[in-house]
């Protein structure tokens, strides 16, 4: 269980999060939707403590991340995997070294066992035989899937996805969606997915939260999302130009 | 008159004190952060056996790959020091008997450490900042953290250790090559036999000349690697930010080399 309470974060004078309250249930897929720049990725980075809040707290399995030392945070992070929006693969390493880095750092597995595991993970994300490729030789979609393989290598309890299907073709997006569902049902992995892809949202989500102006505007099941009467949420999920959500103004809103 | 004074004060506050004050604060906070980074990088030396592959990789990049550059710069530095020393000693009775000691002392205490330090600050100090800066702006540092890997242990400690070990070695190499270059010019241009050159070196060189050079090399290696890492970790923005970080690392590490050079020279020779 991850509990996010009254989370505030500003960069310079700009408030990004203005009191986010959200509970992430264990073993479920929670998607976070919202307009570009509304703070979805910032929220995700708070959950893995890459960012510290100005106010409020993130509690993971009963432990407040604010109260933890660096070494305690590293232990919590071993239970989490983050799939970055642009992959964030290590340029100087090949795919094998990228995916296996966590295993080589934190486990006592033999090179053979690590190599077998990397092969399995790459097969799982639909990229067999690319162990020796460098990130510069991969397309954007391939980088994202290698990033997913890297995130899964340590068998985390929680996997956080930052726009996992953006930039992928529809078939590959469906494969990733299917993978997220399988990881959730077969391995009981708790997934938090930041996405704009409404098709994915309906496909994978147990719960959906919508961020708007730094707070959670909506939180509920996909059925509740479909039936909501909130005009802001309706405009967003239907992708309409006219409605209460206006184009970005000078003050960033 | 009073209002004029008020305007001057306001202008001074607005344009000078405010901006100057901010720059001073930024400078000191940067110094503080560098010291904290140094502390954590040194603290992580306990994992050095586990990270020996990373350290060796950096030693090759910092040290082995820099040897051609060091050879070229040291050869010409030694040759020009012989030319200059020969010119300066022209007014003395037997100038050539001092050529060896004059050039060797200048090379070991100043020329080799400072020139090599400056050349390497441009080479590996800037490259550390560019590499870590690129990792920062492309979220690779965040990725390391999410894999429960301490970026200071993984990135800063091996680079710092490589700088501390390799800079003195490179400067010792530069000492020998520059003295060789100086001897070569002495032989072909001033008829100073190699035996006479080395006799002069032996007669007038002191252990503290060599020690000063080694202490400088140690400090230059530390400051160059530390500044490269610090600037890299504090990089913001995209490609432009990385470019600025590279320049900043070179400027700051060059300035640190000159300051350290003066401090060590004062301690050893004043």
Q: Give A242 or A231, the one with higher predicted confidence.
A: A231
* pLDDT of A126: 85
Long-range contacts of B31-39 (CB under 8 A, 24+ apart): B33/B230, B33/B234, B34/B226, B34/B227, B34/B230, B37/B152, B37/B156, B37/B226, B37/B229, B37/B230, B37/B233, B38/B160, B38/B222, B38/B226
CB contact under 8 A, A105 and B142: no
Chain B residues with CB under 8 Å of A84 CB are: 139, 142-143
Per-residue pLDDT, averaged over B141-160, amounts to: 95
Chain B residues with CB under 8 Å of A150 CB are: 143, 147
Q: Where are the alpha helices (DSSP H) in chain A?
A: 40-47, 70-77, 95-106, 111-124, 140-152, 170-187, 198-204, 222-227, 231-238
Structure pTM?
0.86
Q: Give B21 or B103, the one with higher predicted confidence.
A: B103
Per-residue pLDDT, averaged over B114-135, amounts to: 93
Distance in angstroms (rounded) separating the CA atoms of residues B227 and B210: 26
Is a pLDDT exceeding 80 seen at residue B2? no
* pLDDT of A204: 93
Is a pLDDT exceeding 60 seen at residue B184? yes
Is a pLDDT exceeding 50 seen at residue B203? yes
CB contact under 8 A, A102 and B143: no
Is a pLDDT exceeding 90 seen at residue B20? no
Distance in angstroms (rounded) separating the CA atoms of residues B16 and B4: 17
Per-residue pLDDT, averaged over A172-182, amounts to: 87
Domain-located, residue B149: yes
Nearest to B146 among A70, A77, A86 (CB): A77
The complex's ipTM works out to 0.89
- What band does B16 get if pLDDT is binned at 50, 70 and 90? low
Chain A residues with CB under 8 Å of B143 CB are: 82, 84, 88-90, 147, 150
Chain B residues with CB under 8 Å of A82 CB are: 142-143, 146
Per-residue pLDDT, averaged over A227-250, amounts to: 80
- What band does B93 get if pLDDT is binned at 50, 70 and 90? low
* pLDDT of A196: 86
Q: Percent of chain B scored above 70 by pLDDT?
A: 92
Q: Sheet containing A190-194: which strands, arranged edge to edge? A: A80-83, A158-162, A190-194, A29-34, A207-212, A215-220
Summary mean pLDDT of chain B: 88
Chain B residues with CB under 8 Å of A106 CB are: 148
Q: Which of B147, B228, B87 is nearest to A77 (CA)?
A: B147
Distance in angstroms (rounded) separating the CA atoms of residues A142 and A152: 15
Domain-located, residue B21: no
**Which residue bears the tokens 């030789």?**
A137
CB contact under 8 A, B145 and A77: yes
* pLDDT of A32: 95
Domain-located, residue B17: no
CA distance A246 to chain B (A): 28
* pLDDT of A188: 86
CB contact under 8 A, B149 and A105: yes
* pLDDT of A90: 95
Distance in angstroms (rounded) separating the CA atoms of residues A8 and A10: 7
- What band does A1 get if pLDDT is binned at 50, 70 and 90? confident
Instruction: Of A156-160, B18-22, B141-145, give the lowest mean pLDDT range.
Output: B18-22
CB contact under 8 A, B148 and A150: no
pLDDT in tens, B96-108: 778 888 899 899 9
Distance in angstroms (rounded) separating the CA atoms of residues B153 and B46: 10
Nearest to B148 among A77, A91, A147 (CB): A77
Is a pLDDT exceeding 50 seen at residue A199? yes
What residues of chain B have any CB closer than 8 angstroms to a CB in chain A?
A: 131, 134-135, 138-140, 142-150
* pLDDT of A253: 46
* pLDDT of B98: 83
Is a pLDDT exceeding 50 seen at residue B4? yes
Per-residue pLDDT, averaged over A195-200, amounts to: 89
Distance in angstroms (rounded) separating the CA atoms of residues B99 and B236: 51
Residue B89: alpha-carbon gap to chain centroid: 31
Per-residue pLDDT, averaged over A79-94, amounts to: 92
pLDDT in tens, A6-22: 999 998 888 899 999 99
**Which residue bears the tokens 């403590």?**
A49
Domain-located, residue B20: no
- What band does B94 get if pLDDT is binned at 50, 70 and 90? low
CA distance A198 to chain B (A): 26
Is a pLDDT exceeding 80 seen at residue B162? yes
User: Other CB atoms closer than 10 Å to residue B167's CB: what's the count?
Assistant: 30
* pLDDT of B52: 92
Chain A residues with CB under 8 Å of B150 CB are: 70, 74
Distance in angstroms (rounded) separating the CA atoms of residues B202 and B185: 19
> How many separate domains does chain B show?
1
Chain A residues with CB under 8 Å of B131 CB are: 92
* pLDDT of B208: 87
Q: Give B175 or A252, the one with higher predicted confidence.
A: B175
pLDDT in tens, A20-55: 999 999 999 999 999 888 889 999 999 999 999 999
Domain-located, residue B243: yes
pLDDT in tens, B224-267: 999 999 999 999 988 899 999 999 999 999 999 999 999 999 99
Burial of A79 (0-12, 13-18, 19+ CB in 10 A): middle
Q: Give A252 or A221, the one with higher predicted confidence.
A: A221
Nearest to B146 among A70, A82, A105 (CB): A82
* pLDDT of A252: 47
For residue B206, give its domain range: 46-269
Domain-located, residue B35: no
* pLDDT of B6: 65
CA distance A72 to chain B (A): 10
Q: Which of A33, A22, A9, A11 is nearest to A161 (CA)?
A: A33
What residues of chain A have any CB closer than 8 angstroms to a CB in chain B?
A: 45, 48, 50, 70, 74-75, 77-78, 80-82, 84, 86, 88-92, 101-102, 105-106, 147, 150-151, 154
pLDDT in tens, A109-165: 999 999 999 999 999 888 999 999 999 999 888 898 899 999 999 999 999 999 988
β-strand A29-34 against A190-194: which pairing, if any?
A: parallel
Domain-located, residue B72: yes
Chain A residues with CB under 8 Å of B142 CB are: 45, 50, 82, 84, 88
């Amino acid at each position: 269980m991850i509990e996010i309470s009254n989370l505030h974060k500003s960069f310079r004078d700009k408030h990004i999060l203005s009191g986010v309250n959200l509970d992430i249930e264990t073993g479920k897929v929670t998607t976070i939707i919202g307009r570009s720049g509304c703070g979805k990725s910032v929220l995700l980075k708070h959950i893995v403590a890459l960012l510290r809040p100005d106010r409020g707290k993130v509690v993971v399995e009963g432990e407040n991340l604010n109260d933890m030392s660096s070494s305690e945070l590293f232990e919590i992070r071993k239970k989490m995997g983050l799939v970055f929006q642009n992959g964030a693969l290590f340029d100087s390493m090949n795919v094998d070294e990228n995916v296996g880095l966590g295993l080589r750092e934190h486990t006592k597995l033999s090179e053979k066992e690590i190599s077998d595991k990397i092969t399995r993970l790459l097969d799982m994300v639909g990229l067999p035989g690319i162990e020796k490729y460098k990130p510069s030789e991969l397309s954007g979609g391939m980088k994202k899937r290698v990033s997913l393989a890297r995130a899964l290598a340590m068998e985390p309890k929680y996997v956080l996805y930052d726009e996992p299907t953006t930039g992928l073709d529809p078939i590959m997006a469906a494969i990733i969606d299917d993978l997220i569902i399988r990881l959730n049902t077969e391995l009981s992995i708790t997934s938090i997915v930041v996405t704009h892809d409404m098709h994915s949202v309906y496909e994978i989500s147990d719960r959906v939260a919508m961020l708007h102006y730094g707070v959670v505007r909506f939180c509920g099941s996909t059925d509740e999302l479909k039936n909501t009467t909130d005009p802001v949420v309706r405009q967003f999920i239907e992708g309409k130009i006219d409605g209460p959500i206006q184009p970005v103004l000078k003050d960033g809103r | 008159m009073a209002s004029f004074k008020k305007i001057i004060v306001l202008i001074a506050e607005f344009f000078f004190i405010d901006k100057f004050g901010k720059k001073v604060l930024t400078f000191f906070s940067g110094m503080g952060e560098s010291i904290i980074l140094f502390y954590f990088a040194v603290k992580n030396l306990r994992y050095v056996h586990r990270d020996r592959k990373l350290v060796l990789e950096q030693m090759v990049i910092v040290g082995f790959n820099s040897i051609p550059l060091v050879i070229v710069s040291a050869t010409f530095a030694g040759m020009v020091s012989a030319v200059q020393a020969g010119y300066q000693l022209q007014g003395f009775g037997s100038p050539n008997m001092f050529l060896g000691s004059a050039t060797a002392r200048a090379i070991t205490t100043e020329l080799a450490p400072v020139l090599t330090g400056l050349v390497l600050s441009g080479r590996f100090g800037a490259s550390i900042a560019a590499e870590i800066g690129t990792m920062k702006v492309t979220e690779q540092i965040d990725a390391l953290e999410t894999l429960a890997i301490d970026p200071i242990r993984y990135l800063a400690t091996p680079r710092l250790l490589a700088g501390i070990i390799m800079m003195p070695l490179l400067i010792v190499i530069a000492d020998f090559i520059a003295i060789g270059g100086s001897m070569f010019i002495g032989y072909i241009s001033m008829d100073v036999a190699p035996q006479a050159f080395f006799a002069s070196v032996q007669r007038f060189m002191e252990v503290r000349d060599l020690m000063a050079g080694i202490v400088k090399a140690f400090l230059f290696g530390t400051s160059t690697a530390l500044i490269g890492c610090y600037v890299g970790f504090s990089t913001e923005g995209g490609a432009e930010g990385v470019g600025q970080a590279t320049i900043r690392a070179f400027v700051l590490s060059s300035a640190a080399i000159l300051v350290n050079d003066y401090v060590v020279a004062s301690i050893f020779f004043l």
